[in-house]
Each structure stands twice: as C-alpha cells, then as structure tokens.
C-alpha cells in the first residue's frame, strides 16, 4: 500500500469570520457564476474575442503560428494530455449543459447504501477518514461547516451559457476540502503551455480522487456530492478548513506547498469533526511583499491593501480582500494561449519546505523575525523562470 505521507491532519471545532480574517460588508452578495471569466468568455461580447476562442480551441488542437520554447507541439501535447481525465469528466454532461467540475457538481454513479455505517466516536472516525482520503491521493485535507455565502447564487447551463438554479441535490452539513499539490519543476517554467501541464495533472487527479471518495462515502450510507471549481468558491472554504491563508496573488498559500495547490471539495452529511483556520503569518507577509503584483505582465494584481473595490463584475461584492482585475488577467491568458501563473511562480512561498532553507523561511515568517524573511527575499529578487527546454533536457540527463 502506497500512502502519501505529505498529508496534513488536524482536528478542532468550528470557525467564525474573526478566526478566518474574512471581512464581509453589509452589501455582500453571493457570486453568480455567470460572471466568472470562463463563463463570460462565452456570452459577454466585451470578453469574447477571436483570441479567447483560440485559447479554448488550443486545448484540443495544437495552435498554429510561432513556436517559442514552451509553446511547441510537445508542450501543448503534454498539457492537453494532462487535462484529459478532467476533460472526460467535464464533457460527459455536455448534452445536459452540466460541465462537471467547472460549471456543475460531479455526478456519482454509486447509490447511497441503505444501511449507514455506525460512527461511535466521530473524532476517531475523522482521523480514519482522513487517512482514507490520503490513500486515494489527497495531499492536504481539512473539514469545515457548510457556509452558503460561498455558494454561487446561480450556476451556469453550458448549452446556452445562462444562469440556472444552484440548489444542491441533498442535505449536507460539512464540506471536505482537499488540496492537490502541483509539480514545482513544471510551475517554475510558467508562463508556458508546458507549465500548464502541472495544473492539468492536478485537475485530472482531483476528478479521480473526488469520484473515488464520493463513492466511498455513499457506500457507507451517507450523502456525498463531489465538486471541483463548480458550485461554490473553494478559496474561502480552503481557508475555513485550515489549509492555508489568503495571499495578494488571490491564492490560498499553504505552509506545505505554498501557492502551488489546486483544491477540490465534497459536500456530505457524514459525521465528521471540523478544522480551524490557521495563522502562520502568511497574509501578514503579503502586506509587505509585492513580488506577484510587480511580476504580473498585465498588472492585474493590486499593490495596495485589501479593499472591497470591484474593478468589474467578476469580483465578488462585499468582501474586503486583494482582488485581481480578472479581465486583464484572462486577456493575457488568451494572448499566450495558455494559463499564466507567474504570480504563483515568483511567490516566495513557492519553495521546497522540506529543505533546511524552506523550513527556516517558514519559521521566520511565523515569528517576530518575519522582517528577516522579507529582507532575505528582497535580496534574492524575483525568481527567474526556468527555460522550458531546460525542463525537457532534464528528462534525459
Ligand atoms: S495569472 Fe498571470 S496575468 Fe493573472 S494575475 Fe497572475 S501573473 Fe497576472
Ligand atoms: S508574491 Fe508576495 S505578496 Fe504575492 S502572494 Fe506571494 S508572498 Fe504574497
């Protein structure tokens, strides 16, 4: 039995906004998924362009034109192959307008067993359950309570790109949030089609893990609904579940893998204990750092403090936070025909925390000596991109 021993297991009670650091104003509104950039790129003429169509097409067919390193046939082939399992899941509901994992929750063939597993000691059972999630391949796992504020007010029917009901088909009390670590060597080559393979591998992996774990829970007699980017915002759920802290680059930064993590979730009514939000000095560090914002090619990330300002409809209303200008960000993605995560690559938390240097950095961040970590990073400058050809050559060395 191979078990990924990177998994972090924690237990605690529930949370409040004070614990998470969320600042929600009275004009808060749940986010309507029709307004996210990946939906707007299909119905909003201010976003949909020949470039955005070409961006989506490139995930199926190698784009024509210049072939810079990282954007050659092999790079696109690897990226599109990495996404293949995720794509298979998301395409299977095309006729119903349910793009599973992105614009709709994930269907599960397993019936809910008539007999429920008797759980006597919930705390002990939660430990066992987390080990099972680890067995299926989760790198991080946290559990929190359902919080309807993070559920989309509407989801999207992808046949016509219209908003439709997002009411969950069942009764759920908890959300299991899983983190899936991206390959650092690939991330270090962002921006490139090659680097995007790191995202594709994790989406494909999470589609499988979510399906397996959902099947497991349903076979134990409890309700379970699998979800990737669909149905609810995963970032606040990951923070509530204690997996990391919010960063200026709009990502959840984890103590184990920094920002290099994709998240999935499962809604369930199986009895489980909840985890608490963590405070390791990461968000505080971001208030003094601006590497991601400086390195962002279209200048889509904010340099100032968190705010409730909405640059356009793709920002949620009434949450004080660092928010990207998603139109600028997605516009850049369409120009390079692949996703960009320069703001992930240059982040000082994109390091190996198993090394002595990584451990020391995290210790400093989480201490009154945080200014030393900031000074250290300022001296190092902005991390350079690893050339995609160097990555390919490393395969045969
Ligand atoms: S993904 Fe790229 S374009 Fe978007 S915010 Fe990050 S660095 Fe900027
Ligand atoms: S680059 Fe700096 S400011 Fe941006 S997310 Fe990372 S630590 Fe925070």
For the residues of 151-191, what is the DSSP string, one character each? B-SEEEETTTTEEEE---SS---EEEEEEEEPPHHHHTT-S
Could you say which ligand is closest to the alpha carbon of residue 335? Answer: 1
Q: Is the beta carbon of 291 within 6 A of some atom in ligand 2?
A: yes
Residue 248 Cα to ligand 2 middle (Å): 6
Q: Which atom of ligand 1 is nearest to the CA of 328?
A: 3
DSSP 8-state assignment for residue 319: E
Contact predicate 291/347, CB 8 Å: yes
pLDDT for res 294: 97
Q: Which atom of ligand 1 is nearest to the CA of 342?
A: 7
Give me the mean pLDDT over the 137-164 stretch.
97
Q: Confidence band (pLDDT; 50, 70, 90) for 66?
A: low
Could you say which ligand is closest to the alpha carbon of residue 323? Answer: 1
Residue whose CA is at the smallest distance from ligand 2 atom 4: 292
Q: Which helix (H) or strand (E) holds 226?
A: strand 224-227
**Residues 140, 38: Cα–Cα separation, whole Å:** 26
* Residues sharing a CB contact under 8 Å with residue 341, sequence separation 6 or more, in sequence order: 187, 190, 191, 195, 199
Residue 139 Cα to ligand 2 middle (Å): 22
Residue 114 Cα to ligand 1 middle (Å): 48
pLDDT for res 14: 57
Q: Is the beta carbon of 133 within 6 A of some atom in ligand 2?
A: no
Chain centre distance of CA 234: 7
Q: Is the beta carbon of 15 within 6 A of some atom in ligand 2?
A: no
**Residues 141, 329: Cα–Cα separation, whole Å:** 29
pLDDT for res 85: 96
**Residues 46, 389: Cα–Cα separation, whole Å:** 36
Q: How do residues 352-392 score in pLDDT, each as one tens digit?
A: 999 999 999 999 999 999 999 999 999 999 999 999 999 99
pLDDT for res 157: 97
| DSSP characters over 268-317 | E-S--PBP----SSHHHHHHH--HHHHH-TT--S--S--B---SSTTSPE
Could you say which ligand is closest to the alpha carbon of residue 248? Answer: 2
Give me the mean pLDDT over the 223-248 stretch.
98
* Residues sharing a CB contact under 8 Å with residue 104, sequence separation 6 or more, in sequence order: 93, 97, 98, 155, 156, 158, 230, 231
Domain ranges of the chain: 17-394
DSSP 8-state assignment for residue 385: P
pLDDT for res 397: 85
Q: Which atom of ligand 1 is nearest to the CA of 301?
A: 5
Contact predicate 224/210, CB 8 Å: no
Q: Is the beta carbon of 349 within 6 A of some atom in ligand 2?
A: yes
Q: Is the beta carbon of 249 within 6 A of some atom in ligand 2?
A: yes
pTM of the shown model: 0.94
Q: How far is CA 191 from CA 32, 184, 375, in A?
A: 29, 13, 27
Q: How do residues 297-322 score in pLDDT, each as one tens digit?
A: 999 999 999 999 999 999 999 999 99
pLDDT for res 16: 85
Give me the mean pLDDT over the 256-269 stretch.
98
Contact predicate 76/63, CB 8 Å: yes
Asked if pLDDT for residue 83 goes beyond 90, the answer is yes
Ligand 1 pocket test, candidate residues 332, 341, 344, most atoms within 8 A of CB: 332
Q: Is the beta carbon of 292 within 6 A of some atom in ligand 2?
A: yes
Spell out which residues line ligand 1, taking CB within 6 angstroms.
Answer: 296-298, 300-301, 324, 329, 332, 340-343
Could you say which ligand is closest to the alpha carbon of residue 244? Answer: 2
* Residues sharing a CB contact under 8 Å with residue 87, sequence separation 6 or more, in sequence order: 59
């Amino acid at each position: 039995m191979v078990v990924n021993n990177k998994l972090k297991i924690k237990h605690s009670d529930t949370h409040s906004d004070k614990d998470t650091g969320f600042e929600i104003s009275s004009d808060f509104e749940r986010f309507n998924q029709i307004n996210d950039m990946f939906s707007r790129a299909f119905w909003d003429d201010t976003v949909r362009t020949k470039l955005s169509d070409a961006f989506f097409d490139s995930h199926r067919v190698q784009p024509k034109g210049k072939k810079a390193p990282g954007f050659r046939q092999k790079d696109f082939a690897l990226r599109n192959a990495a996404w293949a399992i995720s794509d298979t899941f998301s395409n299977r509901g095309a006729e119903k307008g349910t793009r599973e994992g992105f614009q709709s929750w994930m269907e599960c063939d397993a019936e809910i067993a008539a007999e429920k597993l008797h759980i006597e000691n919930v705390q002990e059972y939660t430990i066992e359950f987390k080990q099972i999630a680890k067995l299926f391949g989760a790198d991080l796992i946290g559990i929190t309570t359902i919080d309807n504020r993070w559920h989309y007010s509407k989801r999207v029917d992808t046949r016509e790109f219209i908003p439709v009901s997002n009411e969950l088909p069942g009764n759920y009390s908890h959300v299991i949030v899983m983190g899936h670590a991206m390959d650092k060597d690939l991330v270090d080559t962002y921006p490139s089609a090659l680097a995007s393979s790191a995202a594709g591998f994790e989406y494909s992996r999470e589609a499988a893990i979510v399906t397996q774990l959902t099947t497991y829970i349903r076979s134990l007699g409890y309700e379970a609904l699998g979800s990737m980017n669909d149905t609810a915002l995963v970032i606040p759920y990951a923070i509530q579940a204690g997996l990391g802290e919010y960063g200026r680059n709009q990502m959840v930064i984890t103590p184990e893998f920094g920002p290099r993590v994709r998240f999935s979730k499962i809604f369930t009514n199986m009895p489980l204990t909840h985890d608490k939000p963590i405070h390791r000095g990461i968000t505080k560090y971001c208030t003094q750092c601006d590497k991601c914002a400086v390195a962002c090619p279209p200048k889509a990330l904010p340099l100032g403090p968190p705010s409730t300002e909405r640059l356009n409809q793709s920002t949620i209303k009434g949450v004080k936070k660092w928010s990207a200008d998603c139109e600028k960000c997605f516009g850049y993605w369409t120009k390079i025909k692949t996703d960009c995560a320069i703001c992930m690559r240059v982040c000082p938390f994109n390091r190996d925390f198993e090394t002595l240097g990584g451990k020391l950095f995290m210790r400093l961040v989480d201490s009154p000596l945080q200014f030393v970590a900031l000074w250290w990073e300022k001296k190092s400058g902005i991390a350079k991109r690893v050339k995609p050809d160097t990555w390919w050559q490393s395969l045969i060395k």
